[in-house]
Amino acid sequence: MRVLLTGGAGFIGRAVRRRLTAGGAEIRVYDSALDPADDVLDLDRLRRASQGCAVTIHLAAKVGLGVGVSDIDDYARQNSLGTAVVLRAAAEAAVRRIVYASSMVIYGEGGYRCPTHGRVRPGPRREADLLAGRFEPPCPRCGSFLTPVLVDEDAVPDPRNAYAATKLHGEHLGATWCRETGGRLAALRFHNVYGPGLPRDTPYAGVAALFVAQAAAGRSPEVFEDGQQRRDFVHVDDVAAAVVAATGANLPDGMTALNVGSGTITTVGEMASTIAGALSAPAPVVTGRYRLGDVRHITADSARARALLGWQPEHTLADGVRDLVAESSVGSR
């Protein structure tokens, strides 16, 4: 099988390449980090790269929160327009299957249940509440305390930053591509991906990478809010396995959205403590600081991916942290 892999030099892309290679696939890596000419906005070049491929795996993206407006146009250019160009190139090269890297951030806040009103969707958190240390979103109808629950793919999207908006737009463009071409597209909504090779020295680094960088330097990991934010941290090798499985799975016609998570709920504070302990660093410090674009809780129900892809995450949090610690130890010698 011949595969076009955009973003193949990135964190997730490298893990996907390893797995594709082990399975005997012929891979065309398209990544500006390897060749500056590999621009996802270059239709002619992408069309040529797509020729003869059975599948396009589209991982290339500008990542991060995008909490301000200073780079909102760049998110739209690289992610929304870039995805549109990848889709057009695939159509014109007769590629009929695409695996698209979406994200859990399209949901905004996760799922919640009110004791009185059942399933509810809280609105954006107010800065006045965050300043006062009131981090839990209240019921939008009665103000009661809410219980967080798992989110499945049928939840109504509510993107709350530029990155999230462009990832959801990519799904909408993918659905259009499917209708126009008769192709199939798997939109994999990755949760908090971590593992070996996790980028650290970047303003777009995820929370696990920031904790590792702080702990490896002998400092206390700095935890925002009260550390009780619930997340689903999923190992990069499990994500790569889901991506590769989606290239050949018997998927329904059209676009199929699939959560890709570990199935284990971990608080941000627990992740910080685990990393600090593994690196013999000082205990985490809970700062109370916040980012207005962050959500409180978001955890996945990945049953659909397990069923349709025949996929099962294999790495525990302890496995992943052990990998990160080993990598940090090598890097510090």
Catalytic residues: 163
In angstroms, rounded to a whole number, what is the distance separating the alpha carbons of residues 145 and 162? 29
Residue 295's closest CA among 199, 200, 158, 168?
A: 158
Question: DSSP letter at 142?
Answer: T
In angstroms, rounded to a whole number, what is the distance separating the alpha carbons of residues 41 and 176? 19
Please provide the size of the chain in residues: 333
Sign of the CA dihedral running 51, 237, 291, 137: positive
In angstroms, rounded to a whole number, what is the distance separating the alpha carbons of residues 189 and 90? 21
Count of C-beta atoms within a 10 Å radius of residue 253: 10
Using alpha carbons, list the distances in angstroms from residue 266 to 68, 114, 269, 298: 28, 22, 8, 10
